Amino acid sequence: MKLLIPVLLFLTIIGCKAPSHKKVDEISILTDLNGNSLNLNDYNGNVLILNIWATWCKPCIAEFESLEKVKEKFSDRNVEIVAVSNEDLKLINSFLNKRKFDLDFIKLNGDLSYFKAYSLPTTIIFDKSGNENFRLTGGVNFNTKNFIDKILDIERL
């Protein structure tokens, strides 16, 4: 019995060893629509409006029109608008080939929980340092004075 306790303790310690995980920057979690790796840190220095969507989500698609309109209003500002989906790359490209949107689209190679998004659409606004400032869930009209003023306030910081 005296020998069994140290052996069990040793096995418990070995079994509790932290699993090895790759760093997020080592994993191609985000790609452009050609499959090239991206990093959200590439947008630092800009306010990033990250719109999480899916091809089957009607409220998501309805938001694209207002996103395109605000994109025009931010054209001379440090504001980037990016739409991200975790669907199959072929499905995203097929969808976008049938509809022409003036937005930047990227692919998430993982679950939406990567962005702590649990409903669609979800839009996350990151400040110029890459920190989340606020988020919106559900269908939104982005082309409103309130939203535009919030983004301009963040952009001025």
Mean pLDDT for each 10-residue chunk of the chain (157 residues)?
Answer: 45 38 53 93 96 98 97 96 97 96 96 95 97 96 97 95
Give how far the C-alpha of residue 44 lies from the chain's centroid of Cα atoms, to the nearest Å: 14
DSSP 21: -
Q: Is 30 left (phi over 0), alpha (psi -120 to 50) or beta?
A: beta
Task: Give the pLDDT of residue 17.
Answer: 39
Q: Give residue 116's identity as a one-letter amino acid code.
A: K
CATH of region 27-156, choose from 3.40.50.170, 3.40.120.10, 3.40.30.10, 3.90.180.10: 3.40.30.10
* Domain boundaries along the sequence of the chain: 27-156
Q: Is the pTM of this model over 0.85?
A: no
3-state SS string over 86-108?
CCCHHHHHHHHHHCCCCCEEEEE
| Residue 86, CA atoms < 13 Å, CB-side half-sphere | 17
